Structure 1
Amino acid sequence: MSLIKSMGTIGGLTMVSRVFGFAREMMMSRIMGASGAADAFLVAFRLPNTFRRLFGEGAFSAGFVPLFSQRYHGPGGMEEARKFSEEVLAVFLPTLFLFTLVFELAMPLFVGAIASGFVDEPAKFELTVFLTRITMPYLLLISLVSLFSGVLNSLTKFAAAAFAPALLNVAMLIALIIVPTGGAASATALSMGVTAGGFLQLALMWNSARKAGVSLKWRKPVITPGVKQFFVVVIPATLGAGVYQISQLIDTFFATRLPEGSMSYINYSDRLNQLPLSVIGTALGTAILPQISRFISKGEPDEAAKVQGQAVELSMLLCLPAALALAVVAGPLVSALFQGGKFTAEDAMITGNTLAIIVSGLPAYVLVKVITPGFYARKDTKTPVKTAVIVLVANVVLNFLLIPPFGIYGLAIAISACSWLNAVMLYVILRHRGHFRIENWLWSRIARQIAAGLVMVVALYGLRVLLTDWFAGSVIERLAGVTALVGTGGVVYFAVAFAIGAMDRDGIMLLLRRKKAG
């Protein structure tokens, strides 16, 4: 499967999930507002999500996919790969269950450490503990989803894993529809929706793996050579992801000490920032890891570097305009999507300003997703750990320096700056080792993409001024204004990019001719 086709499958279905996610966030903002109950739920949702990213998606895929691919493409074929999966599952499941149980029992201590700003408000603190106990089983469920996703991604079957998050968003939407009163009642319903969504995702992935010919059976937990090899690779990746997730928890720690509603502002800003990150960065990172792993195992490092170069080119072509456009239209976009009900115009303004700062780091977020597979495919999960430790220290220092004078905006600046630090360090190391370097032709193309993006910014700013009255009008007028901005930005950027050679024109024309012939 080609890189563009793989990314199209993953990115397209991820977009479907994000549409449901935005529907959920739009309804949640109006029902919950930037309230104490909303902050409590967002902390309760963030904690299992943090450990999901720690044990599940990133670290697990980094260790599992290359090893599964190695067996699948080796002499043992599918049978050996299935046996390896069952051995990992037999050890992975009891570990997750024990971890979840410990946190359920010690939840007050854990929440008190992470959301210390809530401790002085007993009702808010107790609600956060209660909600987190409801959402924590999601960790176990979604980690199992990650295992099945790793199996399917290794077989280059990306559709089910890309669509699965939509089920979580649907479950949470249903919860809001059933309990639209706001406050603790809606927060409790949302928490139940999180766990229900985890069950739905697991059911989908289990069935998809079964249809792909991978029916995993339960085995007695044994530390086999394959499991040992898995842990040798995954533990450093987990530590690396752990450093990053600790950074996320540190951000939560600071956010809970800011004025009420700060968790909501960060959440809605991050939701918009995550759209291009997931559709572009995560899709590309997921698509290229099996390909790079295959070329490395076959002793073809030049082909692996070629895949990575194509991924960088494609990611910047799509990501740079997304970052620039989000920065320009942040205010109107947030107002159109989230303002209304209990979410006031002031809430929308603060969220928009926060978003405009955070998206300055979006290209770096995407580059990290594209560069990191270059380490993981070579079973090097230690280097990202070392860079992540440096980023963690920088994040803590920047938070202490920037939050006192700038409040939530200081937190956003620290998030963006640390993403760039991480991306630059990873690229410099990979280049120094001779595994991958951005060639002159690619630097030239990226420069042209930036030029096309700046032309788009001028057009967007002018149109935004012309449509000022729309953005102060009804929800329909605001949505129409945002639609006009998005459409204009896309047309201007890609027209200029095509004209000045910021994209592979020959490849695009060839693709169009093939479609016409077909």
Structure 2
Amino acid sequence: MSQTVTTPAPEKPPKPPGLLRSSGVVGIMTMLSRVLGLARDMVIARYFGAGAGADAFFVAFKIPNFLRRLFAEGAFSQAFVPVLSSYREQETLTEVRRLVNAVAGTLGLVLLGVTLVAMVGAPVLTAVFAPGFVDDTEKFALASSMLRITFPYLLLISLTAFAGAILNSYDRFAVPAFTPVLLNLSMISAAVFLSPLMETPIVALAWGVFIAGALQLFFQLPFLMRLGLMPRPKVDYRHEGVRRVLTLMGPAIFGVSVSQINLLLDTVLASFLQTGSVSWLYYSDRLAELPLGVFGIAIATVILPNLSRKHAAESKDQFAATLDWAIRAVLLIGLPAAVALMLLAEPLIATLFYYGEVTARDVAMSAQSLRAYSAGLLAFMLIKVLAPGFFARQDTKTPVKIGIIAMVANMIFNLILVFPLAHAGLALATSISAWLNATLLWRGLHKQGAWKAQPGWLKFFVQLGLANIALIATVVYLAPPLSEWLAADGIKRATDMAVLVVAGGAVYFVTLVLSGVRLKHFRGH
């Protein structure tokens, strides 16, 4: 007697989690990853220093990592999530599975081909990305050999991004957000335990990257199985959904390339300035990236699938309300973060980096660029949450056009400001162009009716203003003079900074509560 085999239906949550809760989960996981990333860098420095081997590894890791940012986690996710959300809302479960299978097979085949070609042509790629290695035969050979080990990471991490996009679309944000932690743990373990067993210890890090790619992919598969959406790869370029994803990816890839060109131009100009300029920009950028990465990207990650579903369901009012929630959430966190970075620029730089070869002058110069970056922090965060308003409606061309305008503006501002303000001028130019970018994105969404101001903005601005005034007063009152920061030891600086952060944060949020702001106002839906 034959038995009918049925495919398990995907798990259906009774109700999607609130936007605030989901953003908090992603933010916490991102913070954990950033902390472990710092620990990873410290371990690598401890075990391998900054010699020829470390240089060779960083090049071998940078190449697949650069391509990952360009294709997998940038353009692909922005294109795939809206299409998958549309299928989820408008098509049957069978069609959703067909889409997942077709994208998995098509994407996997392309990535496999690229990986094989790159492994064979590793010396050519090394020469392109690190032409200075060509004259150093030993370093060039080591980088090329490690690239053959690390490049499959692109295949594995791109499939991981694919799996993570599915999970995000079904409101399973914690798993994809936690996954990057595995890379840091794998590389730390490789440095500590595997390197002593290797003939060339630094090669252990390359294997750590490869192992991390596999761990990250296989970690997510059980959660896809629980959803009933475990891919069965099938190459199908003619599938309507695959063609839509590819069409949307084109402009998105170009948009990511534009930002890379911008960063390259900043680096080129900084290399012509006085010695230390590149490092000062690096230290200040690392601090400005922390609130952007933890909060801005967390909110953007959560709202993209949410907006995509609402667009597919033609819920225009809810779409606008979600965008409005995201903008208010960014202002609630981004404004005090920018204020704090501006007020505490020197103390923060001193607390984190004023050791060893770093001088008091380095602290002062890094603080200049940090203040310039902090002037644009809110704009950087707004860009992260406004752009999904276009991506969710499968419009990737408009953000790219706006990005090109901002890039050209950034180049002009760079050339105008670099002469009077040196490295800080480059940072300020980046901030000004970010505000231009954010303003044009907001105006576009407003004109298209995708964003409409919800009730309560005037009251919210007053509450936000009072809380930030209280924050400023607290920090100014409690902060010791800069001379005391520089004279103190590391433990004293860290303790004083912790007191300032806790006191300032407490006063800020207590003032918000006293002025009538409640957590329920930001739960989202």
Give the C-alpha shift of residue 82 in structure 1. 2.4
Residue 277 of structure 1 corresponds to which residue in structure 2?
292
1:433 to 443, 448, 459: 448
Residue identity matched to 1:335: A
Give the C-alpha shift of residue 5 in structure 1. 1.5
Q: Can you list the C-alpha shifts for 1:84-123, whole angstroms capped at 9, x where unaligned?
A: 12211222223334445357353245326xxx8x689969
Answering whether residue 121 of structure 2 is matched by residue 106 of structure 1, we say no
1:61 to 74, 77, 99: 77
Answering whether residue 302 of structure 2 is matched by residue 287 of structure 1, we say yes
Question: Which range moved further: 304-313 or 290-299?
Answer: 290-299
Alpha-carbon distance between aligned partners in 2 of 1:355 and 1:28, rounded to the nearest angstrom: 26
Alpha-carbon distance between aligned partners in 2 of 1:124 and 1:424, rounded to the nearest angstrom: 50
2:498 to 479, 483, 486: 483
Question: Which range moved further: 52-61 or 165-174?
Answer: 165-174
Give the C-alpha shift of residue 139 in structure 1. 3.1
Q: Contact (CA 8 Å) 2:360, 2:486: kept in 1 or not?
A: no
1:158 to 163, 173, 176: 173
Residue identity matched to 2:89: H
Residue identity matched to 2:382: L
Distance 1:506 1:155, change over 3 A: closer
Answering whether residue 395 of structure 2 is matched by residue 377 of structure 1, we say no
Alpha-carbon distance between aligned partners in 1 of 2:260 and 2:462, rounded to the nearest angstrom: 32
SS in 2 for 1:106: helix
Give the C-alpha shift of residue 383 in structure 1. 0.3
Alpha-carbon distance between aligned partners in 1 of 2:440 and 2:241, rounded to the nearest angstrom: 32
Q: Contact (CA 8 Å) 1:25, 1:268: kept in 2 or not?
A: no
Q: Can you list the C-alpha shifts for 1:466-515, whole angstroms capped at 9, x where unaligned?
A: 685355322211211111111011012112223334x347748x99xxxx
Alpha-carbon distance between aligned partners in 1 of 2:281 and 2:373, rounded to the nearest angstrom: 9
Residue 13 of structure 1 corresponds to which residue in structure 2?
29
SS in 2 for 1:214: coil
Distance 1:44 1:220, change over 3 A: closer
2:184 to 169, 182, 205: 169
TM-score normalized with structure 2 length: 0.83
Answering whether residue 147 of structure 2 is matched by residue 147 of structure 1, we say no
1:94 to 109, 112, 123: 109
Residue 11 of structure 2 corresponds to which residue in structure 1?
none
Q: Contact (CA 8 Å) 2:80, 2:165: kept in 1 or not?
A: yes
Residue identity matched to 2:81: V
Answering whether residue 513 of structure 2 is matched by residue 495 of structure 1, we say no
Structure 2 unaligned runs (5+)? 1-16
Alpha-carbon distance between aligned partners in 2 of 1:443 and 1:266, rounded to the nearest angstrom: 37
Q: Contact (CA 8 Å) 1:30, 1:342: kept in 2 or not?
A: no
Q: Contact (CA 8 Å) 2:334, 2:378: kept in 1 or not?
A: yes
Distance 1:241 1:500, change over 3 A: same
Alpha-carbon distance between aligned partners in 1 of 2:512 and 2:334, rounded to the nearest angstrom: 13
Length, aligned pairs only: 501
**CA RMSD between the two structures:** 3.6
Q: Can you list the C-alpha shifts for 1:130-180, whole angstroms capped at 9, x where unaligned?
A: 577765544333222210111000111011111112122223444565699
Residue identity matched to 2:337: A
Residue identity matched to 1:24: R
2:474 to 459, 470, 487: 459
Question: Which range moved further: 224-233 or 94-103?
Answer: 94-103
Identity of matched residues, %: 36
Q: Contact (CA 8 Å) 1:42, 1:264: kept in 2 or not?
A: no
Answering whether residue 314 of structure 2 is matched by residue 299 of structure 1, we say yes
Give the C-alpha shift of residue 372 in structure 1. 1.2
Structure 1 unaligned runs (5+)? 512-518
List aligned pairs for 1:334-413, cutoff 5 A.
334-341=349-356, 347-413=362-428
Residue 514 of structure 1 corresponds to which residue in structure 2?
none
Alpha-carbon distance between aligned partners in 1 of 2:512 and 2:444, rounded to the nearest angstrom: 30
Residue identity matched to 1:19: V
Alpha-carbon distance between aligned partners in 1 of 2:50 and 2:38, rounded to the nearest angstrom: 16
Residue identity matched to 2:125: M
Give the C-alpha shift of residue 288 in structure 1. 1.3
Alpha-carbon distance between aligned partners in 1 of 2:344 and 2:236, rounded to the nearest angstrom: 53
Alpha-carbon distance between aligned partners in 2 of 1:227 and 1:434, rounded to the nearest angstrom: 29
Answering whether residue 474 of structure 2 is matched by residue 474 of structure 1, we say no
Give the C-alpha shift of residue 429 in structure 1. 0.8
Answering whether residue 231 of structure 2 is matched by residue 225 of structure 1, we say no
